Amino acid sequence: MPRFSRSRLVVQKYGGSSVATPERVAAVADRILECRKVHDHIVVAVSAMGKTTDQLVSLAKSVSGNPHGRELDQLLACGEQIAVSVLGLALQDRGAPPVSLTAAQCGIRTDGSFNNARIHQVDTHRVLRELEAGRIVIVAGFQGVTDEHEVTTLGRGGGDITGAALAAALKAPVCEICTDVDGVYSGDPNVVPHAHLIPEMSYEECIELAASGAKVLHPRAAEICMQDGVPIHVRSSFHMKPGTWVRGGAIKMEQAAVVGVTADKKIAKVTLLDVHDEPGVAAKVFKDLARADVNVRLIIQAAATHDRNRITFVIDLDKAETVRMLGLTWLKRKIAGEVLIDMDVAKIAIVGSRIASTPGLGARMFDALAKHRINIDCISTSEMKVSCVIGGKQLDEAVRAIHEEFFGTSKRKTSGPAKIAARGRRAS
Ligand code: ADP
Ligand code: ASP
Ligand code: MG
């Protein structure tokens, strides 16, 4: 094996669905060996097999009303440890020299925020040593370890973050995210039958799509790669065809385009009624939320009537109980007269470049919803997206309606309502 050379390195991440069964693990092992014909050095981050993490969460819930913190991470990290060793055995069986590593063995250091830890350092010594010894390095995704040797996890879907962090630390020429679809599509291909594969996109577009609900890639993974200039290739685990390239400068100057439609079901809408119209009230509410580690995604304050405001915001569904408890304190402190939490809602968005500064895109989105008699609850816009909160039950219909408006119903349609912009398949 030649000495380590970055140009001959590939970092790949295989998601849970790609290693869901022993047969799929075997197929991934074969694929890795196929890649070895092209790349001298291979580092692979792996997620837990299939629904293992969901099952571990259920197990935790069966013994605890509120599983969280250190003990939960001790349990959740087991899923990835099984996956790396099973893949290691499959490679060994094929005569290849693997080394499977937990995050602790690999040196993936995080802060101590259990269940949602952030990587602050990847010590590459062990990985480089193993690569120089000619081994295929298999790293448990989703896990980390603190400086005090505590096991942490990076948050759901965090296997992508491990892949990106390894690629960035090793200065890899590419980070391949290998998954159960062929790349990033204009809409979730499992919901929108006519969604098209996006051949290339910018980091910013990818982060916005991912943050708005396209779970094919974790937004923090795209952020890490953007920071270090590592190109990402989102592609299928099941074949070798190219997928979606995510890299810097992938959008044409001044070209406004909707790149995709996203949906997020895992949200709740919180409304504070009868809020005093005086300075400092909103600050109190959002400071409490920040202290409780609640991410707020969309905030709307309606203009005051009779010195009373209404504040609406959207949170992650799994924080609904935390916010309900905070709500009780707001009522007690007379910050609000009523706190309503609606869990039967969803968020839908069009994402792309220069969205807000291109007149008419929002109107087309609202019109598509209106034609399907889908009521819009809240609207928010930013330069890269227009999002609406709607009833949860109508989500899939809404996604298809908006996708049809911007991209048409034919996979290769180039005229009609979906006017395709310069880069081939983007709607403008
Ligand atoms: P993995 O197990 O590989 O991490 P995930 O289930 O986390 O895979 O992500 C892949 C899934 O993301 C796909 O099966 C698809 O249903 C979903 N998805 C949602 N939006 C998109 C999109 N815009 N493009 C591609 N896939 C998407
Ligand atoms: N196994 C973890 C999860 O299910 C991490 C991942 O799949 O990326 O969230
Ligand atoms: Mg994933």
Q: Where do the structural domains in the chain lie, given as residue ranges?
A: 6-180, 254-428
pLDDT of res. 421: 36
The reply to whether ligand 1 has any atom less than 6 angstroms from the CB of 179 is yes
Specify the DSSP class assigned to residue 367: H
Going across the sheet that includes 108-110, the strands are 119-122, 108-110, 143-145, 151-153
325 CB contacts (<8 Å, ≥6 apart)?
none
Q: Would you say the CB of residue 115 lies under 6 angstroms from ligand 2?
A: no
Is any atom of ligand 2 closer than 6 Å to the C-beta of 203? no
DSSP for 128-139, written as a single string: HHHHHTTPEEEE
Q: What is the DSSP letter of 197?
A: B
Distance 118 CA to ligand 2 centre (A): 15
What is the atom index within ligand 1 of the atom nearest the CA of 209? 23
> Which residue's entry shows tokens 């590459």?
124
Q: Kindly give the distance from the C-alpha atom of residue 187 to the centroid of ligand 2, in angstroms, as a whole number.
A: 21
What is the model's pLDDT at position 244? 98
- Give yes or no on whether 6-180 and 254-428 have one common fold: no
Question: How many beta carbons lie within 10 A of that of residue 135, not counting itself?
Answer: 21
Taking domain 6-180, whether its CATH number is 3.30.950.10 is answered by: no
Closest ligand to the CA of 157: 2
C-alpha 194/C-alpha 131 separation (Å) is 42
For residues 209 and 351, give the distance between their C-alpha atoms in angstroms, rounded to a whole number.
Answer: 6
CA of residue 214 to ligand 1 center, whole Å = 7
Question: What three-state secondary structure class fits 340?
Answer: strand
Low-confidence residues in the chain, pLDDT < 50: 412-424, 428
CA dist 208 and 203 (Å) reads 9
Rounded distance between C-alpha atoms, residue 130 and residue 123, angstroms: 13
Cα–Cα separations (whole angstroms), residue 296 to 151, 299, 411: 27, 7, 36
Any atom of ligand 1 within 6 Å of the Cβ of 188: yes
CA distance 88 to 99: 7
Strand order in the sheet with 9-14: 98-101, 136-140, 41-46, 9-14, 175-179, 232-236, 244-247, 200-202
Q: What is the C-alpha separation between 103 and 89, in angstroms, rounded?
A: 18
The Cα–Cα gap between 188 and 185 comes to 6
Neighbours of 124 (CB within 10 A): 16
Q: Please, what sign has the CA dihedral across residues 351, 353, 357, 359?
A: negative
Pocket lining: 206 vs ligand 1, CB cutoff 6 Å: no
CATH superfamily of 254-428: VC0802-like (3.30.2130.10)
pTM of the model: 0.92
Strands 338-342, 267-276: pairing kind? antiparallel
Ligand 1: nearest atom to the Cα of 178 = 3
Give the number of the atom of ligand 2 that is nearest the alpha carbon of residue 48.
1
332 CA from centroid of ligand 1 (Å):
42
Residue at token pair 């005090």: 148
As given in the structure block, the two tokens for residue 111 are: 């802060």
Ligand lying closest to the C-alpha of residue 407: 1
Residue 154 CA: nearest ligand 2 atom is 5
